[in-house]
Structures are given as C-alpha cells and as structure tokens.
Amino acid sequence: MLMSFRWYGSKLDTIPLSYIRQIPGMKNVVSAIYHIPVGEVWPYEDILAIKNKIEAAGLMFKTVESVNVHEDIKLGLPARDRYIENYCITLHNLAKAGIDVVCYNFMPVFDWMRTDLAKVLPDGSTALSYNEKILTGLKPDVLAAEMEKGANGFELPGWEKERLSEVKKLFELYKNVNEEKLLANLKYFLEGIIPTAETCGIKMAIHPDDPPWPVFGLPRIVISRQHLERILSLVDSPANGLALCSGSLGANRENDIVEMFHHFSKIKRLHFAHVRNIKVYGPGVFDETAHKADDSSLDMYGIMKALYDTGFTGPLRPDHGRMIWGEDGRPGYGLYDRALGALYLNGLWDAIERCGNT
Ligand code: DNO
Ligand code: MN
C-alpha cells in the first residue's frame, strides 16, 4: 500500500508540499494538471514540472486524479474520437513521467455532489453532507449557487463557472442517454484507451459515482458491485480497473464495502483506494465524518484488513476530511483532518501487518 495525499498544485492548493511531507508515513502525491481544458492533451513538460516540484519536496508522484473525460465521450458525440486520441497522448506523456495509475470518472455533468459543504457536526467541526430531500425540486443552477457560496472561494470539481453556463445544454443532451447508452459510451472509450494504457504501463482506475444513485435524473453506471463487474468485463484487461471509494459506494448501505475491496483487490483489478468514513442516517441522507469515528457507518479496519489480506500494493488515500481546528480551506480537502485520516489508516495497516507476521 502506498499512502498518498491529494494535492491541487501550487496555484490552486493552499497546502504546501512541505507540510504534506510532514504527515507521518506519507509517500505519494496524487495530483493533476488543472490549467488545460478537459479533452486537450496534457503536455509532457507540464507534467514534468509538477513531478519535479513534488519530488523536490521528498515525495513521489505516481498517481493522477483525474484525467477527466470530455462530456462528448460520455454523450457519444462525433467529436469523441478526437478527445479519445488526445486522452491516449496524455496517457503516453504521463507514463513517460513515471505515472502508473490514472483515476477518472464517468459521471454525467458533475463530479461528486453534496447539499451542504459545511454542516456542523456534534463536535463542532464542519463536513460535507448530503440530503436527498434538499435536492428534490431544486434546479441544478440553484444548487450550484448554493455550492459556490459554501465553497470558500474554491472552484469545486465539475462546478467550474464556465461549465455551469453549459449545464442546461448538457441536461438537454443527456435526455437521449440512458444507462445502457452511457455504458456503451464507456465501452467505446475503454476500447479506445485501454490498448494504449497497456502498452505504456498505465493502470486505469474508474471512480464510483458519488452519491451512488441517480441525481437530477442523470444516469449512473458506477454505483454497485454489479456495475463494477460489468465495467471490468467491457474490456477484459488488467489495465481496465477500479478506484474503489468507500465513502462514495458506502452511502448505499446495500453495498458491502469490505467485500468489494476484498474481491476486486484479490482479482488484481483494484488500482486505487479511497478510504474515508461517512455516517448514513437512512436512504439518501449522510454526513462525511472523521476516518476514526466510533458512531459512523463504515468499517475502516475491515477495509484495511481486506486490502492487506489481498496483497494490495497500489496507492491509497484518505479521501475528504472535515474542517477542524479553525482551518479554512477547500471544502473536503483541508490538511488537518486528512492528515489525521492518513495517520489512522497507517496505524491500522501497521497493526494488521504486525499481527499478520506473528
Ligand atoms: C470523491 C472524490 C472525487 C473523485 C473524482 C474522481 O469521493 O474522490 O472528487 O476525486 O470523482 O474523478
Ligand atoms: Mn473518492
């Protein structure tokens, strides 16, 4: 297991790499190129520049999250071939710079979605939270305005201003795309990129949809074990793999998270692990919580044990964290709580390893 931390680059992230380096047991940085529009090629020089910065701080740069997939690919529009070609060139450039895992998602229009970015928890910290009732009857642009208010001046993934102006148009286009069509478009994409990933030694890792059910009537195809099996079979190659995210999949209590981590790691198709906790109150209602939270819904120990028992060697990161100790940063991506999360997960791993060897 390679303990990792997501970083948005020196322009967009307020956390210096030197602080990340001080998290005990932290090894690898997960980052991306943010100044190139979705669908365009990531130049090798730009990738190298981030890599040099990260390595100069004493950390590795082996994992990219995310090379986002252009909406035309998800919609199956004619321009997709050009974007798939670009994607392949980006993969080549990343491999040349030593990256071996690339995360992406196939969520229509938005990345993760919450209804509150700063819900006050009983201990006074604030956390990302979701309540389906708030969403019912809400127009996406109204939610977008709410999200912007709570985002502390940071742009949230998928909610960038220039995209929001397109949202209405996108919703129109998605009217013709149901689950089956979206899955067929994912297959087309995978058939286009997996041969390149194979030759350059990159493992692709699809992130689950978050939350794991349809929102605003948009189709969702990465939300259950069945979906994940199906995605792996679309192109049966070790390069076509998963980024399992406990907090995303776990919001649906029907998903057996520990079993999923165990199974997909055992068959060597789990390439990236996002491990975080949530408290689920009922269908469609949950808060993100500390990684160690005694009253939360997910079994952090069970997940780490499943990974250990199946010989998982890939990158693993604490995912979102709460805002604690007065920190005022990008919602979900502060330093303190994610550092505590990393330490807790490292502690679990150490103990499991020690028990396994005695
Ligand atoms: C949610 C986060 C996501 C994730 C992207 C991957 O759990 O990990 O923002 O990074 O969806 O493309
Ligand atoms: Mn995640």
Query: Is the confidence at residue 129, as pLDDT, over 80?
Result: yes
99-119 confidence digits (pLDDT tens): 999 999 999 988 888 989 999
Average pLDDT of the residues in 118-125: 94
Q: Is 65 in the pocket of ligand 1 (CB under 6 A)?
A: yes
Whose Cα sits closest to atom 3 in ligand 1?
112
Q: Is 248 in the pocket of ligand 1 (CB under 6 A)?
A: yes
Nearest CA to 132 out of 121, 123, 143 is that of 143
Q: Which of 47-61, 65-79, 344-358 has the lowest mean pLDDT?
A: 344-358
The ligand 1 atom nearest the CA atom of 207: 6
- Which residue segments constitute the domains of the chain, with CATH numbers given? 63-75+100-356 (3.20.20.150)
The complex's ipTM works out to 0.95
The ligand 1 atom nearest the CA atom of 104: 12
> What's the predicted TM-score (pTM) here?
0.95
R_g over Cα of the chain: 19
154-206 confidence digits (pLDDT tens): 766 666 666 667 787 888 899 989 999 999 999 999 999 999 999 999 999 99
- Residue 161: what pLDDT? 67
**Is-catalytic flag, 355?**
no
Measured in angstroms, how far is the CA atom of residue 320 from the centroid of ligand 1? Answer: 9
Q: 151 or 258: whose pLDDT is higher?
A: 258
First to last CA, the chain: 20
Average pLDDT of the residues in 38-60: 98
Beta-carbon neighbour count of residue 320 at 10 Å?
Answer: 26
- Residue 110: what pLDDT? 85
Q: Is 119 in the pocket of ligand 1 (CB under 6 A)?
A: no
- Residue 353: what pLDDT? 95
Measured in angstroms, how far is the CA atom of residue 207 from the centroid of ligand 1? Answer: 6
Nearest CA to 31 out of 4, 5, 68, 64 is that of 64
Average pLDDT of the residues in 202-221: 95
The ligand 1 atom nearest the CA atom of 111: 11
> Burial of 145 by CB count in 10 Å (0-12 exposed, 13-18 middle, 19+ buried)?
exposed
Q: Starting at the edge strand that comes first in sequence, how are the strands of the sheet with 285-288 ordered?
A: 116-120, 126-131, 285-288, 278-282
Pocket probe for ligand 1: among 70, 87, 104, 111, the residue whose CB has the most ligand atoms within 8 Å is 111
Considering the chain, what is the average pLDDT of its residues?
Answer: 94
Average pLDDT of the residues in 84-100: 98
Residue 99 is given by DSSP the state: -
Beta-carbon neighbour count of residue 108 at 10 Å?
Answer: 25
Q: Which of 9-23, 30-44, 169-183, 309-323 has the lowest mean pLDDT?
A: 169-183
Q: Is 104 in the pocket of ligand 1 (CB under 6 A)?
A: yes
pLDDT bracket for residue 143 (50, 70, 90): confident
